[in-house]
Amino acid sequence: MNQTCHDRIIAPSVLASDWGRVAEEVKRATEAGADWLHLDAMDGHFVKNISFGPQFVSAIRPHTNLPLDVHLMLTHPQNYLEAFIKAGSDQITVHVEAEHDVSTTLKQIRDAGLKTGLALNPATPIDDVMPYLNEIDLLLVMTVVPGFGGQSFMENETMPKVSAARAMREAQGLDFHIQVDGGIDAQTVKIAGANGANVMVAGTALFAQDDMAAAVEGMRGAD
How far is 193 from 184, CA to CA, in rounded Å?
11
Give 32's DSSP letter: T
**Residue 15 interacts with which of ligand DX5, Zn ion, none, CB < 5 to 8 Å by class:** ligand DX5
Q: Binding residue for ligand DX5 (CB under 6 A) from 71, 100, 115, 220?
A: 71
**Residue 202 interacts with which of Zn ion, ligand DX5, none, CB < 5 to 8 Å by class:** ligand DX5
Q: Which of 18, 40, 69, 128 is catalytic?
A: 40
Residue 203 touches ligand DX5, criterion: CB under 6 A = yes
**Residue 193 interacts with which of Zn ion, ligand DX5, none, CB < 5 to 8 Å by class:** none
Whole-number minimum distance, CB 38 to ligand DX5, in Å?
A: 6
Contact 83, 108 (CB under 8 A): no
Whole-number minimum distance, CB 14 to ligand DX5, in Å?
A: 8
Residue 25 touches Zn ion, criterion: CB under 5 A = no
Q: Which of 43, 69, 181, 185 is catalytic?
A: 181
Which strands sit side by side in the sheet containing 138-142, from one edge to the other?
9-12, 199-202, 177-181, 138-142, 115-120, 91-95, 68-73, 37-42
How far is 163 from 90, CA to CA, in rounded Å?
27
Q: Which is nearer to ligand DX5, 125 or 150 (CB)?
A: 150
Contact 144, 175 (CB under 8 A): no
Q: Binding residue for ligand DX5 (CB under 6 A) from 162, 192, 202, 219?
A: 202
**Per-residue contact string for residues 153-192; x = within reach of ligand DX5 by CB under 6 A:** ----------------------------xxxx--------
Q: Binding residue for ligand DX5 (CB under 6 A) from 102, 129, 162, 201?
A: 201
Q: Which is nearer to Zn ion, 81 or 170 (CB)?
A: 81
Contact 20, 202 (CB under 8 A): no
Using left for φ > 0, alpha for ψ between -120 and 50, and beta otherwise, residue 204 falls in alpha
Concatenating the DSSP letter of every residue in 75-125 gives S-GGGTHHHHHHTT-SEEEEETTSSS-HHHHHHHHHHTT-EEEEEE-TTS-
Question: Which one of 59-67, 105-113, 127-135, 144-152 is the stretch in contact with ligand DX5 (CB under 6 A)?
Answer: 144-152
Would you call 43 a catalytic residue per the annotation? no
| Residue 120 burial by Cβ neighbours in a 10 Å radius (0-12, 13-18, 19+) | buried
Whole-Å CA distances, 177 to 169, 174, 194: 9, 10, 14
Where along the sequence are the contacts to ligand DX5 (CB under 6 A)? Answer: 13, 15-16, 38, 40, 71, 144, 146-151, 181-184, 201-205
Catalytically active residues, by annotation: 40, 181
